[in-house]
């Protein structure tokens, strides 16, 4: 029998990912050179 998907868990993960991305963008806008990825800077 297949297990039913845990939508609450999926939603929580999606929200956390969105929040992390927002924080990353905020840090980048502040111009923090330590947090920037070397790949994206080139």
Q: Please give the full DSSP string across 1-42, using - where no structure is assigned.
A: -PPPP-HHHHHHHHHHHHHHHHHHHHHHHHT-TTTS-HHHH-
Mean pLDDT for back-to-back runs of 10 residues, the chain (42 residues): 90 97 89 56 46
* pLDDT score recorded for residue 42: 45
* pLDDT score recorded for residue 34: 57
């Amino acid at each position: 029998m297949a297990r039913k998907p845990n939508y609450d868990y999926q939603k929580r993960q999606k929200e956390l990912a969105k929040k992390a991305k927002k924080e990353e963008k905020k840090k980048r806008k502040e111009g923090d050179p330590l947090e920037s990825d070397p790949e994206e800077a080139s």
